[in-house]
Structure 1
Amino acid sequence: MLTPEIALSFFGIAILLALAPGPDNVFVLMQSAMWGRRSGMLVVLGLCTGLVGHTVAVAVGLAALFAASETAFIVLKLAGAVYLIYLAWGAFRARPDTHAASRPPRQSNATLYRRGIVMNLTNPKVSLFFLAFLPQFTSAARGSVALQTLSLGLLFIAATLLVFGCIAFFSGVFGELIQRSAKAQRLLNYFAGTVFLGLAAKLAFASR
């Protein structure tokens, strides 16, 4: 099972990754800023619900891969490392966008919740990211890899709920920070890119 040290370090990194500007948190931000905290929180709950599906899928897949062969593990870790480097490259090259976004339309509560689920489940990059990210914090020596992965997924969901919930609650403050401060956007992107590179290096040299 997960040790307290691993759980804490994973949760800290998940918080940082959730803070990095992206389409999901920007959508939460704009819905909250325009239509109130309730609208933003409904989107957040939908996104977190979608993450449950990705977590279960990755947990089952990782368990099978770890049990398969050394070759499967090597292919997985190298593919994950390459993908993390790609994410780092994108983060470092991302340009701040300080233009005011157009006013999003008001939507029903059920529509906002469903949209959050669909936005997450239909994004294959989430599963790819989980496949690249979660194995670095699991070990067959600590028991079931599937259970460890599920635990990590729940921690990631908790981090997402915390960060995105704060964005929804403090939408005015975050709106000023993320939408109008190029410096803040560059800083967050730089931190995210650095984390991605570090994770890629760790994954590339990981042992089974």
Structure 2
Amino acid sequence: MITVEFLITSLIVVLIPGTGVIYTVSTGITQGRRAGFYAALGCTAGIIPHLLATILGLTALMHASALAFQTLKYAGVAYLFYIAYATWKDTSAFALENTPPRSTALSLVVKALLLNILNPKLTIFFLAFLPQFVKPGSGSPFLQLLLLSGIFMAMTFAVFLVYGLLAHAFRTAVIESKTVQSWLRRSFAAAFAGLGVHLAFSEK
């Protein structure tokens, strides 16, 4: 269940600059490290509803119908290949958005929270990502999904926190580097494609 493959893939997914990362980095640059911490906290908390929906939905499917779960699995395969292709073809550069001069800790957390809660792609991603790491016969699927989700969230918070605390360095090395952006995009696309292949040939 908790394999090196899961940890490495999760880390790759978390490291890729997306909406949450850009917000955290932007906040860290314009408002300081403390603000970056609250932004990272809010972005991580915004993942919880998507993970809960995924865990409850997948657990119900596993208990209700093997056919339904298989259908979901192959839909997840198709989605993973689609986002791998879309990521590979995307040539747009990451950009930092301007933020207000100063914000309260609560407002930073709430804004970051809503940023991820209102992103429906997260639920779709987790529906495609988590099933392949659930091992039949290794205990309750619900507890396995809960543990995997907890680890993913911990990694997300740790990486986002580093992004926020080292915002200026990351801005130069990542956000404003076309070479690094290109490498990240291709790595992300390869990770999604690899997930799709693994999921397609998994036993359940």
TM-score range (shorter-chain normalised) is over 0.9
1:37 to 33, 36, 39: 33
Q: Which residue of 2 aligns with 1:55?
A: 51
C-alpha distance in 2 between matches for 1:142 and 1:171: 41
State how 1:1-208 maps to structure 2 within 5 Å.
Answer: 2-3=1-2, 6=3, 8-97=4-93, 101-105=96-100, 106-208=102-204
**Unmatched 5+ residue regions in structure 1?**
none
Residues paired across the two proteins, number: 203
Q: Which has the higher helix share?
A: 1
Contact map agreement 2:23 2:97 (CA 8 A) in 1? no
Is the partner of 2:130 in helix, strand or coil? helix
Q: Name the TM-score, length of structure 2 as normaliser.
A: 0.94
CA apart distance, 1:31: 0.8
Q: More displaced, 55-64 or 143-152?
A: 55-64
Is the partner of 1:107 in helix, strand or coil? coil
C-alpha distance in 2 between matches for 1:37 and 1:96: 28
Is the partner of 1:141 in helix, strand or coil? coil
Is the partner of 2:137 in helix, strand or coil? helix
Is the partner of 1:142 in helix, strand or coil? coil
C-alpha distance in 1 between matches for 2:194 and 2:16: 16
CA-based RMSD: 1.5
Is the partner of 2:202 in helix, strand or coil? coil
Contact map agreement 1:16 1:192 (CA 8 A) in 2? yes
Q: More displaced, 43-52 or 149-158?
A: 43-52
Give the partner amino acid of 2:7.
F
Contact map agreement 1:96 1:182 (CA 8 A) in 2? no
CA apart distance, 1:110: 0.7
